[in-house]
């Protein structure tokens, strides 16, 4: 089928990959009070540790898989390995009879998630130019946001009726399903080759702006190089020199961290995901104390799901509009909306902490999701656009590496923030927990994005 070799197929498989990946992350969340406090009699503080173990796995899996994926220009095989790790960890959770097995299995899921998330997003960057990244990234992240918040919904219902084995089998089946889908979609280099072939075919290659065959445009302006120039360009000495220059320009993790835009966006990512991960830990505890069952706790996250999906999709369209591009610039437009979306999400989290009513809390969850999605999508597309600029003239791209940094930032937040939030919740109150994560996101998103807007150049 022609669709299998299209950009749309890659976006589809990454959407499904991120959906199932993050669904697996969230399925267990509503069951944590019953599973950890009920079955294993552990303290509430270990709920945050359970979430943090997943982040530790991401921290290990993402950079290793991304390095290998970039080095060998292969996205398909690393994703395959990642889905196998997700499936194995899911079976471990299904049969865990001790906290040690439960936490080790959760860490294995984190490794698989780190692989599939970073390499999957890199596959999109491979096939789209910088100015076209926002919409496909927003679609892919819609899978992530829907999965992250529908996971608790599904998990709450399944755990209530089928228990620990039920959620384990469900996660295993989902991982195997997306593994099969990934097998039938070609790798990025094959997609690019197919696109290049279509562009070189005068019958199918159509210029998007002028509606003319691409091989008929600009031919009068082409200047044929002289024979001497051709000989110089084709000489072994020139080819060898060019190859050496490309190898010298290969991008390392340190090269990316020295880029102020990449570094500061990773910092904002830590606090943005730290807020969401903390909310996903303290809200179920609060709702459980108010008498909600695990399935009803899961239902409450529907609002966060819908809000995140809408916010991400709308932002993809907004960022690609000519008005926004002309108003703020092709790169800085993303920084503006990162700041707006993240800071409003932080403010709304303060109101969530003040809310005493479950229905009102659910409304705030929906609004937090809306602005979190609107602020998160520009981070990913900005990273992708910046790494494309850095990769010009390099021996290989670093698309996988830049998203492994994104995943590392996420994993740091997933390891630290939920533990802090759950401990603070136990020691103080829901409001203090929300106050800390909300204020941190507001401060860092506003200060760092203002710096990028006014002190860096497109």
pLDDT at 245: 46
Instruction: For residue 254, give the nearest of 108, 430, 405, 437 by alpha carbon.
Output: 405
In this prediction, residue 369 has a pLDDT band, given cuts at 50, 70 and 90, of very high
Dihedral Cα 439, 441, 444, 448, nearest 10 deg = -140
Q: What angle do CA 76, 79, 85 make, to 5 degrees?
A: 145
pLDDT at 238: 43
pLDDT at 28: 86
Residue 210 burial class via C-beta count within 10 angstroms: exposed 0-12, middle 13-18, buried 19 and up: exposed
The CB density around residue 215, as the number of other CB atoms within 10 Å, is 13
Dihedral Cα 286, 290, 291, 294, nearest 10 deg = -20
Q: Which residue has the higher pLDDT, 145 or 162?
A: 162
Instruction: For residue 32, give the nearest of 86, 89, 102, 92 by alpha carbon.
Output: 102
Side-chain half-sphere of 202: how many Cα atoms within 13 Å?
A: 3
- pLDDT greater than 60 at residue 243: no
In this prediction, residue 33 has a pLDDT band, given cuts at 50, 70 and 90, of confident
**Highest mean pLDDT: which range of 43-57, 148-162, 173-187, 288-302:** 173-187
* Tens digits of residue pLDDT in 322-341: 999 999 999 999 999 999 99
Side-chain half-sphere of 27: how many Cα atoms within 13 Å?
A: 30
| Mean pLDDT of all residues in 29-41 | 82
Query: In whole angstroms, what is the distance from residue 202 CA to residue 212 CA?
Result: 10
Q: Which domains does the chain have, with CATH numbers?
A: 1-192 (1.20.1250.20), 251-457 (1.20.1250.20)
| Mean pLDDT of all residues in 419-447 | 92
List of residues 6+ apart from 65 with CB closer than 8 A: 78, 81, 82, 114, 115, 118, 119, 400, 404
Q: What are phi and psi of 206, to 5 degrees?
A: -120, 130
pTM for this one?
0.78
Query: In whole angstroms, what is the distance from residue 207 CA to residue 411 CA?
Result: 42
List of residues 6+ apart from 227 with CB closer than 8 A: none
Instruction: For residue 105, give the nearest of 35, 160, 183 by alpha carbon.
Output: 35
């Amino acid at each position: 089928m022609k669709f299998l070799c299209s950009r749309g197929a890659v976006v589809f498989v990454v959407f499904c990959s991120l959906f199932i990946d993050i669904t697996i992350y969230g399925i267990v969340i509503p069951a944590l009070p019953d599973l950890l406090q009920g079955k294993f009699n552990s303290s509430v503080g270990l709920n945050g540790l359970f979430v943090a173990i997943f982040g530790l796995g991401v921290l290990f899996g993402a950079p290793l898989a991304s390095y290998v994926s970039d080095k060998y220009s292969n996205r398909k095989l690393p994703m395959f390995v990642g889905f196998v790790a997700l499936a194995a960890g899911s079976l471990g959770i299904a049969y865990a009879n001790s906290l040690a097995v439960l936490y080790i299995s959760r860490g294995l899921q984190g490794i698989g998630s780190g692989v599939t998330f970073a390499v999957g997003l890199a596959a999109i960057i491979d096939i789209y130019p910088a100015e076209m990244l926002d919409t496909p990234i927003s679609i892919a992240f819609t899978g992530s946001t829907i999965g992250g918040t529908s996971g608790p919904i599904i998990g709450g219902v399944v755990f209530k009726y089928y228990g620990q084995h039920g959620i384990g089998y469900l996660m295993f089946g989902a991982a195997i399903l997306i593994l099969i889908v990934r097998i039938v979609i070609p790798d990025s280099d094959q997609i690019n080759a197919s696109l290049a072939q279509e562009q070189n075919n005068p019958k199918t290659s159509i210029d998007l702006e002028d509606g003319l065959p691409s091989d008929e445009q600009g031919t009068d302006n082409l200047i044929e190089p002289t024979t001497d120039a051709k000989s110089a360009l084709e000489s072994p000495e020139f080819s060898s020199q060019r190859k050496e220059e490309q190898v010298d320009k290969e991008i390392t993790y340190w090269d990316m961290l020295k880029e102020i835009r990449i570094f500061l966006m990773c910092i904002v990512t830590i606090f943005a995901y730290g807020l969401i991960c903390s909310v996903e830990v303290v809200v179920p505890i609060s709702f459980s104390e108010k008498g909600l069952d695990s399935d009803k706790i899961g239902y409450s996250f529907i609002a966060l799901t819908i809000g995140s999906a809408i916010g991400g999709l709308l932002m993809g369209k907004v960022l690609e509009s000519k008005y926004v591009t002309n108003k703020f610039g092709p790169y800085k437009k993303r920084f503006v909306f990162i700041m707006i979306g993240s800071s409003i999400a932080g403010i709304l989290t303060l109101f969530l902490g003040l809310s005493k009513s479950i229905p009102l809390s659910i409304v705030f969850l929906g609004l937090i999701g809306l602005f979190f999605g609107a602020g998160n999508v520009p981070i990913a597309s900005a990273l992708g656009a910046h790494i494309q600029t850095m990769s010009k003239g390099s021996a290989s791209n670093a698309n996988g590496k830049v998203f492994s940094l994104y995943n590392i930032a996420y994993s740091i937040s997933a390891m630290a923030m939920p533990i802090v939030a759950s401990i603070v919740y136990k020691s103080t109150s829901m409001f203090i927990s929300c106050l800390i994560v909300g204020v941190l996101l507001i401060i860092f998103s506003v200060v760092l994005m203002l710096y990028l807007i006014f002190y860096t150049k497109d």
